[in-house]
Structure 1
Amino acid sequence: MKKLIENVAIVLMLIFLATSVAGFILDRPVLVSYAYSESMTPTIDKGDLFFINPLSKAGDVGDIIIFHRRDGWTVHRIYAITEEGYITKGDNNVATDQQDGVYPPVTEKDVIGKVIVIGGHPLVIRGGGDFIENLRSKMNNVYIVGALIIIGTVLTFSGGKKNKKHRKKSKRFFKVPMKTVYAAVSVLIIAGFLFVTMASWGTLAFTYSSTLAGGQKEGWYLPGTTFEKNLSVENHAVYPFYYFIEPKSERVRLLSEDTFEIPGDGSHSVLLAVSVPGDTRIYREEIEVHSYPAILPSGTIRWAYNIDPYLPLLLYSIELAAIMMVFYYLAGIGEGEIVRIRVRRRSILSKITGDGLL
């Protein structure tokens, strides 16, 4: 039982590492991320690594959340809660993010998780983000992918060969073939890739006021008029991404293309035309954004997206599964023994749990 618990812990650790590494490469916070600025100092200093609970998105005043806004990912504290969403503020900032009207309140669907807090203090690794940032600046994506392949190969093939003396004793054990373990690892890799991709989906949002005092202040417009709005879509990842944008309101229409590709560390400007309603009040408009790694032809992704936004994920799964299968045959992965569970036990419980060894 002790060994079984250890094996489960190892698998969970591998899943954590795989999703975290993928998140850093694609610049999509999943389970761990780091602070890019000093806005949360001294709670989370610039360059500090912090851990994320992606299952907790509904926040309360005082919670530290990770959310997406049009200029990237942000980790700030919930300062207040309104009907429109969360009012957020960095611990080191004087004003809230929404005070000048540049950023709208944060909705729950913009939140990807909350910072894990233990004993009233966030779980951080001081300076951990600086190390990762330096590593990313010195290694391009080809080297990173190559390193991951080498590490995965070493982990996959380690323990495959046994000496003859050990093979004689292994007759009392149930053997799990190498191909079974490889299949399980492949499924975890594909699932992690899809999870990171979906974590990047979100919305671009902005607010404006329909008022009879339109024009007297930025963001104030006369009822019944139309104004143009520029939004910037940024890709902070090292890989190029395809982006698909779609206004969620009939009041907003696109004046530029709704599909485009952004290279790594690049940006793209989106021009909108907004029709101001006749009712005088504050309005919030949202632009839905779906992004996909550029590892398939753009025409294929566009065709699949027009059918359903989740269909490109299926195509990615097929492509990755094919790559895993080709690697399986080229590497000549055989029937090496990985997990051994004793067959002869005195109790039924022992037969079920066994003492699997890695």
Structure 2
Amino acid sequence: MSARRAFVVALELAAVAVVLSLVVGQVLGQPVLLAFVETGSMAPTMEPGDGFVAIPAQLAGPPEEGDVVTFRAEELHGGGLTTHRVVGETESGYVTRGDANPFTDQDGEEPPVKDAQIVAVAWAPGGDVLVVPHLGTAVLAVQGVLGTVQRNLASMLGTRALLGPTGLGYVFAGAMGLLYVLDLLRESGNVKEKDDAERARERSTGRSVDLYLVGFALILVVGATSAMVAPGGTQEYGVVSAEFDSERPTVIPMGESGTVPYPVGNGGFVPVIAYLEPASEGIEVDPGQARLARGERVNATVTLHAPPETGYYRRFLVEHRYLALLPPSVIDSLYRLHPWAPIAAIDALLGGGFYLLGRALVGGGRVRTRRRSRGGRSSLGRRLGGLLPGRR
């Protein structure tokens, strides 16, 4: 592969990765590499539709004053992801404010932001957020088109499997497969008889098999990551420390404790390993780990502690889950290293394994065509036959 062709392929893959990360991030409600703002509350730093590089909170560590963070708000805009700047810190959490707002979020009804609510920190090399103008505007348009395609295909085929994050992966995989077949048909119909030198030159400009393999591997990785990230996340419990007994499990007498069940299920085909851990004070969970077979469902017990003073208190629980494609001991060791380490290892296993298997079966080089073989087979037939093991 020439340096120029390698550069073009790298750009194509980067574009696919950017679109997938943004769209999947919107579907999951969790920024994946890139994110964007939809309102003008961060002007002039970021205008509506501007994008930024989103560093996961687990990798960025605790935010500092001046950092721009994306957090799961409780009251702002009806709840959901909000991107604002940290302007202070109290014993109850962080104080945040949009750059365009004259008052902090906590001057309104939004409680101080806990670490468990922060999902990403905007990358700010040199102290200024790296802004990608109008990136979000394009992503919303792509997301709208993909959502329409998913709904129409699901309705046409009578299945809900094409909806949601997993369905998005199916749509991408089907689209790439269709484009590959159309590319075969187009080239087989357009190639004319040329002399040997021209044919050699044509082969050198063919489309790289690696591009297709990497594209499909990327889709597989996105689907696997969605299956691990989407069902997990942070669970919030609002505890009322009261002077009286109540039948409600989250209304607890002062200084005492109550329990609530936390269901953990596996609706997929692959076994998963789930980790449950407290993300704030005043909460415990047992068991802290569960291995779930296909269709299995268990209940963990969450113990909530009420402070000795009356009031409303928030407690947080975080769930991390991983496809059981590695030995449990390996996943456990990686998890103790960092919660994202098992995801990276599993994605590398799936993506790298698919690519190596594809290279072993298909081989490398270029996808190329000939108009007619000596034996009368069409170029498309020869090419499809040439992809089988042992055929060259």
Q: Which category of TM-score, normalised to the shorter sequence, fits these structures?
A: 0.5 to 0.7
Shift of residue 287 of structure 1?
0.3
The counterpart of 2:234, out of the listed 182, 198, 203, is 203
Match of 1:111 in 2: 119
Match of 1:190 in 2: 220
The one-letter code sitting in structure 2 at the alignment partner of 1:78 is V
Match of 1:63 in 2: 67
Question: Aligned partners of 2:273, 2:101: CA distance in 1, in Å?
Answer: 33
Match of 1:337 in 2: 366
Contact kept, 8 Å, 2:70 with 2:121, in 1: the verdict is: yes
2:274 paired with 1:225: no
Shift of residue 114 of structure 1?
0.9
Shift of residue 14 of structure 1?
2.5
1:269-280 to 2 correspondence within 5 Å?
273-276=303-306
Deviations 1:208-245 (A, max 9, x none): 798xx979xxx9987523367899x9xxxxxxxx9967
Deviations 1:179-211 (A, max 9, x none): 54443333333333445556655434568798x
> Quick one: structure 1 residues 319 and 6, their matched pair in 2 at CA, closer, same or farther if it must change by over 3 Å?
closer
Match of 1:20 in 2: 22
Contact kept, 8 Å, 1:109 with 1:202, in 2: the verdict is: no
2:99 paired with 1:96: no
> Quick one: structure 1 residues 60 and 273, their matched pair in 2 at CA, closer, same or farther if it must change by over 3 Å?
closer
Contact kept, 8 Å, 2:225 with 2:347, in 1: the verdict is: no
> Quick one: structure 1 residues 225 and 87, their matched pair in 2 at CA, closer, same or farther if it must change by over 3 Å?
same
Match of 1:252 in 2: 283
Contact kept, 8 Å, 2:116 with 2:316, in 1: the verdict is: no
Shift of residue 323 of structure 1?
9.4
> Quick one: structure 1 residues 155 and 116, their matched pair in 2 at CA, closer, same or farther if it must change by over 3 Å?
farther
Shift of residue 128 of structure 1?
4.1
Match of 1:87 in 2: 95
Where do 5+ consecutive residues of structure 2 fail to align? 152-161, 245-249, 265-271, 291-299, 336-340, 369-392
Query: TM-score normalized by structure 2?
Result: 0.51
> Quick one: structure 1 residues 136 and 82, their matched pair in 2 at CA, closer, same or farther if it must change by over 3 Å?
farther
1:111-260 to 2 correspondence within 5 Å?
111-114=119-122, 122-125=131-134, 127-128=137-138, 131-132=141-142, 134-135=144-145, 138=148, 139-140=150-151, 141-142=162-163, 147-153=171-177, 156=180, 158=183, 165=194, 168-169=197-198, 180-196=210-226, 201-204=232-235, 224-226=255-257, 246-248=276-278, 251-253=282-284
Shift of residue 17 of structure 1?
2.5
Question: Aligned partners of 2:128, 2:7: CA distance in 1, in Å?
Answer: 27
The one-letter code sitting in structure 2 at the alignment partner of 1:224 is G
Where do 5+ consecutive residues of structure 1 fail to align? 234-241, 260-269, 340-358
> Quick one: structure 1 residues 285 and 39, their matched pair in 2 at CA, closer, same or farther if it must change by over 3 Å?
farther
The percent of aligned pairs where both chains have the same amino acid is: 16
Match of 1:52 in 2: 53
Shift of residue 95 of structure 1?
3.5
Contact kept, 8 Å, 2:69 with 2:83, in 1: the verdict is: yes
Question: Aligned partners of 2:199, 2:93: CA distance in 1, in Å?
Answer: 60
Shift of residue 4 of structure 1?
3.9
Question: Aligned partners of 2:223, 2:301: CA distance in 1, in Å?
Answer: 31
Secondary structure class of the residue paired with 2:366: coil
Question: Aligned partners of 1:319, 1:122: CA distance in 2, in Å?
Answer: 32
> Quick one: structure 1 residues 4 and 272, their matched pair in 2 at CA, closer, same or farther if it must change by over 3 Å?
closer
Deviations 1:114-169 (A, max 9, x none): 16799778434174465356446634245855652353135545477665537645
Contact kept, 8 Å, 2:72 with 2:117, in 1: the verdict is: no
Match of 1:289 in 2: 319
User: Which has the larger displacement, 119-128 or 19-28?
Assistant: 119-128
Question: Aligned partners of 2:112, 2:42: CA distance in 1, in Å?
Answer: 23
User: Which has the larger displacement, 156-165 or 183-192?
Assistant: 156-165
Shift of residue 83 of structure 1?
6.9
Match of 1:9 in 2: 11
How many residues align? The count is 308
User: Which has the larger displacement, 318-327 or 90-99?
Assistant: 318-327
Question: Aligned partners of 2:141, 2:204: CA distance in 1, in Å?
Answer: 43
Question: Aligned partners of 2:195, 2:22: CA distance in 1, in Å?
Answer: 37
User: Which has the larger displacement, 73-82 or 53-62?
Assistant: 53-62
Contact kept, 8 Å, 1:245 with 1:287, in 2: the verdict is: no
> Quick one: structure 1 residues 252 and 109, their matched pair in 2 at CA, closer, same or farther if it must change by over 3 Å?
closer
Write 1 or 2 for the structure with the bigger share of helix: 2
Question: Aligned partners of 2:236, 2:215: CA distance in 1, in Å?
Answer: 38
2:79 paired with 1:77: no
- Cα RMSD (Å) of the superposition? 6.0
> Quick one: structure 1 residues 336 and 156, their matched pair in 2 at CA, closer, same or farther if it must change by over 3 Å?
farther
> Quick one: structure 1 residues 127 and 183, their matched pair in 2 at CA, closer, same or farther if it must change by over 3 Å?
closer
Question: Aligned partners of 2:88, 2:102: CA distance in 1, in Å?
Answer: 15
Shift of residue 78 of structure 1?
1.5
The one-letter code sitting in structure 2 at the alignment partner of 1:246 is L
Question: Aligned partners of 1:110, 1:180: CA distance in 2, in Å?
Answer: 38
Shift of residue 26 of structure 1?
3.5
